[in-house]
Amino acid sequence: MKIQHIFFDLDNTLWDHRKNAYLTINDLFKKQEITLHYEIDFEEFHSVYHDINESLWEKIRDGIIDKEYLRKHRFYDTFRHFGVDDEELSQYFEEHFLDKILNHNELVEGAEYILEYLKSRHYTLHIISNGFQEVTERKCILSGIDKYFKTITSADSIGVRKPNPKIFDYSLGLAEAKKEESIMIGDDWIADVVGSQNYGLDVIFFDVYKENKQEEGLKAITHLLQIKEYL
């Protein structure tokens, strides 16, 4: 059957989470004068934070920890790395990070153009995100891309995260879409590619960070505009 429904991941596929997080943490870092008080370089801090955050999100994806654990530890563990054991400071960063990140709504290059293009081709567009429900829709609204999507599914909607097949089943059910007329587009190899494949859903791997993962027959792109080669 011809593809009718396109399911997008959100963070780092359309909404540039890495860039927006960098800008937000830098704002908080300056406001709290961290370099002055603790002699910590921001670029080093951000690099450590990024690695810790990525590791924690992988554990959430795999069901090892929950979001409360991540929220308690990602900044706390980062500050601990630099010898600063301050739960209050870490919690300040966490609480303000989730709020202030929505002040930055940079999209991945080509996102709005490709959404407009796909909409003009009469595809029905959807979101499947592993992000928190309370921010997923706000990211779409504040960045101006909510108008393109018929449905927006976050992991909290069903209580499981990609690559769990239940979230794909839930989202396709919500969209009233059949597997054979649907395709997933995302940047996470495990959550998006392996998850879709195990569910029996066609997928385009957005290799935005050029991991160069190869698999025979896999549709892969390094820029969103390359979606036009497949759809």
Percentage above 90 pLDDT, the chain? 89
Residue owning tokens 């979101």: 127
pLDDT bin (cut points 50, 70, 90) of residue 190 is: very high
Q: What is the pLDDT of residue 212?
A: 73
Q: What is the pLDDT of residues 95-105, one digit of tens each?
A: 999 889 999 99
β-bridge mates for residue 221, sequence order? 206
Q: How far is CA 101 from the centre of its chain?
A: 13
Percentage above 70 pLDDT, the chain? 100
Of 1-10, 23-32, 113-122, 207-216, where does mean pLDDT reach its minimum?
Answer: 207-216
Domains, in order of start, for the chain: 5-15+108-229 (3.40.50.1000), 17-103 (1.10.150.240)
From the list 227, 229, 198, 157, the residue with the least C-alpha distance to 6 is 227
pTM of the prediction? Answer: 0.93
Residue owning tokens 């590791």: 55
Q: How are the residues of the chain apportioned to helix, strand and coil, as percentages rounded to the nearest 5?
A: 55, 15, 30
Q: What is the pLDDT of residue 211?
A: 78
pLDDT bin (cut points 50, 70, 90) of residue 72 is: very high
Mean pLDDT of all residues in 151-166: 94
Q: What is the pLDDT of residues 120-149, one digit of tens each?
A: 999 999 999 998 888 899 999 999 999 999
